[in-house]
Structure 1
Amino acid sequence: MVARQGCHLCDEARAIIARVVAETGDSFAEVDIDADPELARYTEEVPVTFVDGRQHDYWRVDEGRLRAALQA
C-alpha cells in the first residue's frame, strides 16, 4: 500500500487490509509516499493498494473486492 502519515483514508485502509490479510494468510507492505519521490504520481490517490504488483484500488479499499482479489 502506498500511503502517508496523517491520512484518515490511509488509516481506514490499513485496518481493512490488516483484517483481510489476517484471514487469507497474505501479507502486505506499506510505503510512505512522502519518502519516495518516484511515488509522487500517486499523491492525489492515496491510499493506493496493489495486488500482485498491479494497482487494485485507491482512496478507499473495498473489503470484499480485496478479499476476492487475494483469493483469485
Structure 2
Amino acid sequence: MAGMSPVFRRSERRKERKAPGERLVTLIRKPGCHLCDDAQEVIEKVCADLGVPWERKDITEDEELHRAYWEQIPVVLVDGAQHTFWRVDEARLRKALTQ
C-alpha cells in the first residue's frame, strides 16, 4: 500500500466493512440531560436492531471527556470517531453502522 494514492487507500478502507458485532457506539452523556435520554433511546433501538454493542460514558466522571465534550453533549461516537452531537438521527446512525 505504500505506493498507493490516499484516495485509493480511503476507498479500500470503505470496502472493509465491519460486522455489526465488531462496531461500537459510545454515548457520552451526563445525568439529568433530557437530550441525552432522547439520544440513548435512539441508540438502544438502532443497536438492538442491528446487533451492535454500545456503551455509555458519563462526563461528570471523566475529566478528559468533560473538557472535550461538555458543550456538545450528548455526543455519539461510532468506533471511537465522533458521529454526532446534541440530537441523534436514527436513519443517519443506522446508515453509519451498516456501511
Q: Extract unaligned runs of 5+ from structure 2.
A: 1-26
Query: Structure 2-normalised TM-score?
Result: 0.71
CA distance in 2, matches of 1:10, 1:30: 10
Looking at both structures, which has the greater relative contact order when contacts are Cα pairs under 8 Å and sequence separation is at least 6? 1
- Aligned: 1:16 with 2:42: yes
Superposition deviation, residue 67 in structure 1: 0.2
Which aligned runs of 4 or more in structure 1 are off by greater than 4 angstroms? none
Q: From the CA coordinates, give the structure whose radius of gyration is larger.
A: 2
- Partner of 2:55, secondary structure, is coil
Query: Structure 1-normalised TM-score?
Result: 0.97
Superposition deviation, residue 27 in structure 1: 1.2
- Partner of 1:13, secondary structure, is helix
Number of residue pairs matched by the alignment: 72
TM-superposition CA deviations, 1:26-55 (whole Å, max 9, x none): 010000001000012200100000111100
RMSD over aligned Cα atoms: 0.5
- Partner of 1:30, secondary structure, is strand
Q: Extract unaligned runs of 5+ from structure 1.
A: none
- Partner of 1:26, secondary structure, is coil
